[in-house]
Each structure stands twice: as structure tokens, then as C-alpha cells.
A and B are shown apart, each in its own frame.
Chain A
Amino acid sequence: MRLRPLIMLAAASLLVSCGSSDAQKQRVLYSMDTYMTFTAYGENADKGLSAAADVISELDGKWSAENENSEINVVNIHPGQAVKVSTDTASLTAFAKDMYIITDGALDISLQSVVKEWGFTSLEHHIPDDARLASLLKNTGADRIEIKDDSVTIPEGMTIGLGSVAKGAAGDIAAEELKRQGVESAILDLGGNIRTVGVKPDGSEWKVGIRDPFGDGIFGVLLVGETNIVTSGGYERYFELDGKRYWHILDPETGRPAESGIVSATAVGAEGRYCDALSTSMFVMGKDKAIEFWRSRRDFDLILVTDSREVLISEPLKESFFLQDGCDWSVTVIE
């Protein structure tokens, strides 16, 4: 009888060592002009990842700027005509139009022709002259897009691109699919947009680093449950000419790379597409406007880094955000 505790201890120790190698499954996808790493845990992980990968490739076919036959490009080659699209595409386009209005024009999906002019799509970079930019900007303004009954109409001369919202929306849809397949714990990296499902398999929170806009590593970490963390910075896609750096996030007003004093803008919240749109918008808005915007809404959280290495975080994050060891930047809590 005295043996029983010993045997139970041995059995328990076996369980513990198996537990530490938890059923983690991972999948890497090359989609939406970037690469994505999906990690899921538990018995439904494989099934969930396959379903999520299918969903992503389907969305890529609808939203890709590179695929000529994508729904977005069909809309682009038929300006002035109502083009029937899927509900996913109509809904995302309508959302992006709303964001244009809400952000006072800081997020504009109709800037695609300007993005192209700079060479950010072909990678044949050059600096457009003022006259060229002025003429292209005459045809922008996402408030002029019409969406009705899953049909999208853009005015003559306009080209739209969903790059600033597609990955966020894809994260929302992929996370939903994972849950539908019974996955309770997963972390999705969609080209640097982070989407979590549930908490870690051991019940603890996810630890998500945020890229240092000045260097290689991370400047801070955020402890989170189920959420989205989306960061925009000038370090992701850019080119350099005569010692000056030109990044792909353009100011819709000038058609030039946004120089607002913000070098990294992170939005945290329940909806991926909203966070995706907001990280870009705040990068364009600059510190004061972004803070004013947050105060007027309070339905997301922010982490901003200015060019003078000041970190601004919204009040709800003050218990969950930590500067990386050795990072001595000042942190201001916005209330």
C-alpha cells in the first residue's frame, strides 16, 4: 500500500514531461505579399491550421494587389462601373471607407496610384515630382468609393489597394476559423500583425515583443490574452536615396512618406482590421492627433514611439506593457 504514492509520483512526473512538449503545430504561409506563421495548440491544431490556411489563400485571391484577377483589381480596371464582389471584399472596402471618414483622411485605400508611382509595388523606386503627385492626388479620397449590395464602384482615375487593412481582416477571419475547428489556443503572425486566440496552453498570457524602430531587436513587450497587436513603422518597406529614407506609409494629403514625428505606432484591440487601419493612421496623424483620436474613442489601445525616443501608452496598458531590459526611453501614460 505504501507503494501507491511512489507509483503515482512516477506517473505524474511522466505526465508533466509530456505536458512540456505540448501538441504545438505550426504552419508557414506565403501570402498577401508577405509570410505568415500560424501556431496552434491542442488536439484540433492540425485541423484548425489547415482550415485557416485555406481561408487565407482564398482571401489572398480576392484582395491581392499583385494578382490581376483579384476582386480588387477587377474593381480597379472597371472604374465608374458597379463591380459585383464577395461579401468579404465589399465589407472590407466599406470598413476602409468608414475609417477614411473617422480618421479624417489619415487612412486612404484610394492612394494606390501614388504608392505605385513611388515604386513601392514594383520596387523600381523613384521620387515623383510635385506636379505628378498633385495630379494623382486629384483622384484620391476613399469617401468617393460607393459600396452597395456587394458591389463596389470607384470613380474614373482612382485605384484602390487594401494593403493597410487586409492582413488585419485576414487575422480576424483566420482566428474565427480556428475557433470553429475547436482550437482554443493559437498565435498568428501575419507578416508582423499579431493575432492571438485564447491564452497559452498553460493558462498564462502571451508575451508579444514590439520591434525597435531604431534597431534590430524589440523595445518592449506586452502581456496579452486574446487580442490583436498591429505595429506600423518606417522600417518595413522603404528605399534610400542620397542618404534619405523614403518609407511606404504615405501621407494622403501630400502623397509623400508621412513624417509626423512618430516612428512606430501600435494599435491593440479586439478587431484586427481596426487595429491594422489604426496603426497606419496614427503613424500618419502624429502624436497629438493620435492621442486626441484615442481620447475620443477609447475602443482600442496604443503604443507610440516618437523620433525623440519617447514612448506613449494608453492608460489601460500600464500594467501589461514593459520596456525591454536595457531600454531607457521615457514612457508617458496617456489618460
Chain B
Amino acid sequence: MIRNQRFWVAVAAFVFLSAVAASIILYFSRSESTVRIIQDGKVVTAFELEGHPDEELVFEYEGRKNIVEIKDGRLRMRSADCPDKLCERSGWCGKGSLPLICLPNRLVIEFTASDTDAVAR
């Protein structure tokens, strides 16, 4: 009987501790990414901009390319195969709430203000 009881205490403790661990992981994994890139309605990548290694990301939509450059904790649309080039003109963007949008190529780079649910602009 005692052994049986110990077994169940151990099971309960295990379940409790794994739930606590899962909660902690879920909680922190939510606020990790400050930038997400969405193309054609799908999140293609999300990352923390601060401390991100310098890199060039290439996104293709219907054969047209967008090149996003990440450097020194900022990013910009380095080039875009689209008629208006509006996104290129936005220049370098830091962390904040400003989205960088290339509508013709359905590309959106969002800075998610991690402590708000949305930003009116």
C-alpha cells in the first residue's frame, strides 16, 4: 500500500513539474521574437532583431525577389522586384512598431511590440 502511494505521489509530482516547465517554456517562447516576416499570409520566419548576426534574406513571390538585409540590429529592404519600390525607400528600420510592406510581392516585415496586442497607426 505504501509503495503504491509513493508511486502515485511520484506520478503527481512528475505531472506537476512537467506542467510548470511547459508553462515556463510557453511563456518565454512567446516574447522571444520581435520581428516576423509574413509572405502571402504565412509567417515565414520570426527572430529577435537585437544581436541578430548580419545576414541577407531572400524571399520570392511569383518569380519576383525581395532581398532583406539585416545589419547591426536593424533591417531594410535592400531590393525589391516591384514597380513602386516604396519599401526600398523606407530605408533602415530599427525595433519599433513600423511595418515594412511590399504589397505587390505580399511581403510584410512586422516589428511586434511584444507587450501590446496591436498598434494603431
Contacts and interface: CB of A to CB of B under 8 A. Distances in A.
Contacts of B121: 192, 210-211, 231, 233, 235-236
Interface string A170-209: 0000000000000000010100111000001000001111
Contacts of A3: 5, 8-9, 12
A20 B26 contact: yes
B19 A206 contact: no
Interface string B86-106: 100000011111110101001
A308 interface: no
Interface residues of A, number: 45
A318 interface: no
B12 A211 contact: no
B120 A231 contact: yes
A207 B118 CA distance: 7
Contacts, number: 122
Chain B's interface size range is 35 or more
Majority secondary structure of chain B interface residues (helix, strand, loop or mixed): mixed
A217 to B, nearest CB: 4
Interface of B: 5, 8-9, 11-13, 15-16, 19-20, 22-23, 26-27, 38, 40-42, 84, 86, 93-99, 101, 103, 106, 108, 111, 113, 115-121
19 contacts: A3-B8, A3-B9, A10-B13, A20-B23, A27-B41, A28-B38, A30-B40, A35-B99, A35-B108, A123-B86, A187-B117, A189-B118, A192-B120, A192-B121, A193-B120, A194-B120, A206-B118, A217-B96, A231-B121
Interface of A: 3, 6-7, 9-11, 13-14, 16-17, 20-21, 27-30, 33-35, 123, 187, 189, 192-194, 200, 206-212, 215-218, 221, 229-231, 233, 235-236, 266
